[in-house]
Structure 1
C-alpha cells in the first residue's frame, strides 16, 4: 500500500539544504582542511519556509 508524503514547505532559497560546509582550501598541520558552516539566512537553518497568507486574506 503506498504511503502519502508529508506536504512540507521547503525554503525557496536553499531548497531544503539549510546548512552547507565549505572548505577553505587551507590545510591544517594534521593534513585536514578547515571548513566553514554556513546557514541559509532566509530560513535561519531550518530548511522550511513559513506559510505566507495571501494579500487581502480576511482573518476571522
Structure 2
C-alpha cells in the first residue's frame, strides 16, 4: 500500500487509489487475464482533488 503524506489532500472518490484493474473472467491466448483499467472520474487518475479554481470556467 502506498504511504500518503499527511499534508497532501487525498481524493474522496477513490481514497488515493485512482486507477484499478478489473478482471473480466476471460483469458488471452497466452493464458493471461483480460483486464479493464478504470480511472477515478473525480480526480482523473491523479489521486488528489482538483483545486476549486480549476473547476471554474467563468471569469
TM-score (norm 2): 0.72
Unpaired segments ≥5 residues, structure 1: 54-60
TM-score (norm 1): 0.71
Larger radius of gyration: 1
Q: Is the 8 A contact 1:9 1:49 kept in 2?
A: yes
Unpaired segments ≥5 residues, structure 2: 54-59
Q: Give the number of the structure whose residues are more often helix, by fraction.
A: 2
1:16 aligned partner: 16
Aligned length, in residue pairs: 49
User: Quick one: distance in 1 between partners of 2:18 and 2:25?
Assistant: 22
